[in-house]
Amino acid sequence: MTGDDKHLPLEDIHKAAGARFGAFAGWSMPLTYPAGVMKEHLHTREHAGLFDISHMKLFDVSGLEAVALLDRACPLDASALEISQSKLTFFLNEAGGILDDLIVTRLGDTRFMVVANAGNAEADEKHLRALAAGFDVKVEPLDRVFLAIQGPEAWAVLSRAGIETGSLLFMHGVEPRKNWFMSRSGYTGEDGFEVGLPVAEARELVAKLLEDERVMWIGLAARDSLRLEAGLCLHGQDITPETDPAAAALMWAIPKEIRATGAFIGADALRAAVERGPAQKRVGLKPEGRQPVRAGAALFDADGNPAGHVTSGGFGPSAGHPVAMGYVSASLAKPGTRVFADVRGTKIPVDISSLPFTPHRYRKG
Amino acid sequence: MATTYFTSDHEWLRVEGGIATVGITDYAQEQLGDLVFVELPETGKKLTKGDTAVVVESVKAASDVYAPVDGEITEANGTLSSDPSLVNSAATGAGWLWKMKLADESQLAGLMDEAAYKAHIA
């Protein structure tokens, strides 16, 4: 960790909770709490995990041409979003590569909330501001604490803390109070919420939530194992400026008409990539046995020819076995296909697996 | 009678009759977090001080455990194949990693006793 890392506004609370810190995306972040990654992971799947994700950035995008800006910046049909509806989308480069993955939520006719990844927040802001110069629109980065409450009891613990989530469905977001943003979404595969709010109110909410024995602080280590089991991508690892949504198996996030006729940045390159068909595809990987296969491990086919590589890998506490994600040649991408991962010179059999490893339990209606 | 030594890499060695039982310290297991896999060495493998003897894998990362002295593996703790968490719950007991026949007992002189190790991690 370097002294240049940014600090969370609630760092004192994490320290008091006994967190072990590490550097991530330029931030000093809680990696684990005394319960440990295994218990934290399982607790989230069974009860409610509380995550401080204030390293992520919220942007308020508003103005008469907010729709037009977002349609240019992202492979998105912003005008088709209903008010309070959220959508996973991307910033692409001209080559169709993924600069960042984002959640865009429509808050009004001419207002949207954009949630960006920590590591890309500065570049995203620059990118969006540069594009916005040609539109009648304002891009405002918000100063908020951002909390995720995830797990089957997330709605109940929020209710006890005085926040009714009521009829809010998965991938919808609202502003329940002044300067608050709350969406039913997350990065665990569970039902859950992400709440952006001013720091003083965040302290009150955290204190209330922690009074509830169903709530436990969860660090980045378990956040990573939860999202990996859920088959969700980490930008910088599973998706990068060198991978396009077709290779990343994320075309489902792009509406059909937009794929065909959208004028977003990277549209031509992406259409060409879809036309060609990706050389490699992102897949789930299930290593045989107990030994985890980690990011960076090379994959080989049965004849020993290079077949791809692992982009995320570890142990899935809920799955009960190692889990991984990576890219393989398109011809090997079918679930059940066996490849081999090189782990310190030993070839570990790995089966292509459908994602997620643990079923999503979103509240869709 | 067995004598216990410690290394600055957070390993312990219990030496008796020219055989050292080796594991990682409680401090080390706490730093690593929940272990999910231990890659054990084969019996008969000859190690030089500093060689990777075992790889312990937590949910998040793989870490090498080095041979603290020269010697030959006489036994690996096979129980860890089915229950790697023993290293967390009993680091200095049932969670031992391997036994080795010492090649040069004079190397032990360079290691720490418990008091020195405690001062080292303090």
**A322 contacts in B (CB within 8 Å)?**
36-37
**A290 contacts in B (CB within 8 Å)?**
36-37, 81, 84
B84: containing domain: 3-121
Cβ of A290 within 8 Å of Cβ of B84? The answer is yes
Tokens of B63: 């870490």
Cβ of B37 within 8 Å of Cβ of A322? The answer is yes
Contact (CB, 8 A) for A151 and A190? yes
A18 in contact with chain B, both atoms CB, cutoff 8 A: no
Higher pLDDT: B1 or A156? It is: A156
A312 in contact with chain B, both atoms CB, cutoff 8 A: no
Nearest-by-Cβ selection for B62 from A36, A294, A317: A294
Cβ of B59 within 8 Å of Cβ of A225? The answer is yes
CA geometry: angle A358, A49, A314, nearest 5 deg: 45
Report, as an integer, the average pLDDT of A255-261: 97
CATH 2.40.30.110 domain span(s) along chain A: 279-365
B42 in contact with chain A, both atoms CB, cutoff 8 A: no
Interface of A with B in 252-311 (CB under 8 A): 290-292, 294
| Domain A59-122+244-278 top-level CATH class | alpha beta
Cβ of A36 within 8 Å of Cβ of B34? The answer is yes
Report, as an integer, the average pLDDT of A162-184: 96
Query: What secondary structure letter does DSSP report for A95?
Result: T
**B35 contacts in A (CB within 8 Å)?**
none
pLDDT band with cut points at 50, 70 and 90 for residue A2:
low
In the predicted model, is pLDDT for residue A364 greater than 80? yes
Report, as an integer, the average pLDDT of A6-12: 98
* Strand residues in chain A grouped as ranges (E): 6-7, 20-24, 27-32, 48-52, 57-62, 86-92, 98-108, 111-116, 138-141, 145-150, 173-174, 181-183, 192-197, 215-217, 280-287, 298-300, 306-316, 321-329, 338-343, 346-353
Q: Give Cβ neighbours of residue A85 (< 8 Å, ≥ 6 apart).
A: A105, A106, A171, A172
Which of A336, A334, A330, A329 has its CA nearest to residue A300?
Answer: A329
In the sheet that holds B46-47, the strands lie side by side as: B3-6, B11-16, B19-24, B98-102, B71-76, B46-47
A vs B, Cβ pairs < 8 A, gives 46
CATH number of residue B13's parent domain: 2.40.50.100
Number of structural domains chain B divides into: 1
In the prediction, which pLDDT does A166 show? Answer: 87
In the prediction, which pLDDT does A342 show? Answer: 97
| Domain A279-365 top-level CATH class | mainly beta
Cβ of B33 within 8 Å of Cβ of A32? The answer is yes
Q: Closest-CA residue in chain B for A224?
A: B60
Cβ of B34 within 8 Å of Cβ of A224? The answer is no
Tell the CATH topology of A6-54+144-229.
Answer: Gyrase A; domain 2 (3.30.1360)
Contact (CB, 8 A) for A98 and A240? yes
B77 in contact with chain A, both atoms CB, cutoff 8 A: no
Which of A124, A5, A18, A108 has its CA nearest to residue A66?
Answer: A108
Paired strand residues for A327: A282, A309
CATH 3.30.70.1400 domain span(s) along chain A: 59-122+244-278
- Predicted confidence (pLDDT) per residue in A273-319, tens digit: 999 999 999 999 999 999 999 999 999 999 999 999 999 999 999 99
Tokens of A353: 């697996």
**A292 contacts in B (CB within 8 Å)?**
36-37, 57, 62
Burial profile A29-43: b = 16 or more Cβ within 10 angstroms, e = fewer: bbbbbebbbbbbbbb
Q: What is the mean pLDDT of chain A?
A: 97
Q: What percent of chain A has pLDDT over 70?
A: 99
- Predicted confidence (pLDDT) per residue in A132-146, tens digit: 999 999 999 999 999
* A343 to chain B, closest Cα gap in Å: 11
Mutate to test the interface with B, among A39, A41, A291 (most CBs of B within 10 A): A291
What is the complex's ipTM, to 2 decimals?
0.86
Report, as an integer, the average pLDDT of A12-36: 96
In the prediction, which pLDDT does A104 show? Answer: 98
Paired strand residues for A280: A329
Report how far apart, in Å, the C-alpha atoms of A325 and of each of A120, A250, B20, B49 are.
Answer: 21, 14, 40, 36
Burial profile A259-292: b = 16 or more Cβ within 10 angstroms, e = fewer: beebebbbbebbbebbeeebebbbbbbbbeebbb
**A41 contacts in B (CB within 8 Å)?**
59
- Predicted confidence (pLDDT) per residue in B89-121, tens digit: 999 999 999 999 999 999 999 999 999 999 999
Report, as an integer, the average pLDDT of A61-82: 98
CA gap A119, A197 in Å, rounded: 21
Q: Closest-CA residue in chain B for A321?
A: B36
Nearest-by-Cβ selection for A37 from B57, B60, B84: B60
